[in-house]
């Protein structure tokens, strides 16, 4: 998809706004449900969650879940013309408009906080790099939008928090008083993707891949717990899905594809590369 220089900031800002509304509704529903449980009220019958009903059982007012569904349709409107959605994501079972919109926004757009006075970039402490004024306590931050570029699968994995810490060999974790160079939001959407795929049966191709990796990890990590092997397998499945997202996005925008590290440097053959599932019949 070719993004015109004149309108990508508007596209990014609108998509970001609709996503924040959806996230806010999700958080409110969780908070309300927890409050219901804390006082012994069944949230399934709470007006804010399902809507008050009349004597015939018809909904009189919108509940929060209905409002959230309406917001999901607004997200669908934002992504439905995007080739990534049209040609691939809409065909992947378990990927709805929220996951699609979140992935597209993270992949394409970077929001950089700027000074409301001189429009220069803010530093990590939210101080202007030029006029040195602090943005703290000044209300909502202003942002400019940049287009992202991930030239390799590894750079996309790293940004999404799916890389290994070189010091531990395990998935990177946040460290106290140290700014991470990966997106916590990207890490979270990976877990949501795993939960969405895990609800399907073995005929789901990414679920089947995760189950295959579980069996493989039983051999490579026999002393690990079942839960640990489960998490390892699903991390690999999520990384596979993210690599497929990267491949499809690059192909649709006519950007060059680079070999993954295991092929370019690890000595593996290109036959080890798994083509994107559900894309033009690949993986069937």
Report pTM: 0.87
Q: Which residue has the higher pLDDT, 114 or 18?
A: 18
- Residue 4: band (very low, low, confident or very high) from pLDDT cuts 50, 70, 90: very low
Q: Which residue has the higher pLDDT, 51 or 268?
A: 51
Q: Report the chain's C-alpha Rg in angstroms.
A: 22
- Residue 139: band (very low, low, confident or very high) from pLDDT cuts 50, 70, 90: low
The residue among 101, 89, 114, 124 whose CA lies nearest residue 17 is: 101
CA-based angle 259:181:206, to the nearest 5?
50
The two structure tokens encoding residue 42: 């069944």
Instruction: Give the number of other CB atoms < 10 A from CB of residue 250.
Output: 17
Do 105 and 5 reside in the same domain of the chain?
A: yes
Do 218 and 144 reside in the same domain of the chain?
A: no
In sequence order, the β-bridge partners of residue 122 are 128
Do 135 and 255 reside in the same domain of the chain?
A: no
Average pLDDT over residues 238-257: 94
Cα gap 108→147, rounded to integer Å: 6
Portion of the chain with pLDDT greater than 70, in percent: 90
The two structure tokens encoding residue 37: 């449980």
Do 144 and 3 reside in the same domain of the chain?
A: yes
Boundaries of domain holding 46:
1-148
Do 66 and 173 reside in the same domain of the chain?
A: no
Q: Which residue has the higher pLDDT, 219 or 57?
A: 219
Asked whether residue 43 carries a pLDDT value surpassing 80, the answer given is: no
Asked whether residue 281 carries a pLDDT value surpassing 70, the answer given is: no
């Amino acid at each position: 998809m070719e993004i015109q220089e004149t309108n990508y900031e508007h596209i990014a800002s609108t998509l970001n706004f609709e996503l924040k509304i959806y996230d806010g509704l999700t958080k409110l529903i969780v908070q309300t449900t927890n409050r219901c449980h804390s006082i012994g009220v069944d949230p399934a019958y709470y007006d804010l969650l399902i809507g008050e009903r009349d004597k015939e059982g018809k909904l009189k007012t919108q509940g929060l879940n209905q409002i959230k569904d309406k917001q999901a349709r607004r997200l669908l409107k934002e992504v439905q013309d995007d080739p990534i959605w049209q040609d691939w994501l809409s065909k992947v079972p378990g990927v709805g408009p929220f996951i699609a919109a979140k992935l597209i926004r993270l992949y394409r757009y970077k929001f950089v906080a700027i000074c409301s006075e001189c429009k220069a970039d803010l530093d990590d402490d939210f101080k202007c790099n030029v006029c040195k004024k602090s943005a703290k306590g000044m209300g909502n931050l202003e942002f400019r939008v940049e287009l992202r570029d991930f030239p390799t699968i590894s750079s996309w994995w790293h940004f999404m928090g799916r890389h290994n810490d070189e010091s531990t060999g395990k998935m990177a974790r946040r460290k106290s008083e140290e700014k991470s160079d990966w997106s916590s939001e990207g890490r979270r959407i990976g877990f949501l993707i795993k939960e969405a795929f895990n609800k399907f049966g073995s005929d789901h191709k990414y679920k089947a891949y995760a189950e295959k990796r579980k069996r493989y990890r039983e051999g490579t990590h026999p002393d690990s717990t079942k839960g640990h092997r489960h998490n390892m397998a699903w991390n690999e499945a999520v990384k596979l899905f993210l690599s497929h997202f990267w491949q499809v996005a690059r192909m649709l925008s006519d950007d060059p594809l680079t070999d993954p590290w295991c092929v370019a440097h690890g000595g593996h053959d290109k036959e080890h590369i798994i083509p994107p599932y559900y894309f033009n019949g690949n993986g069937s």
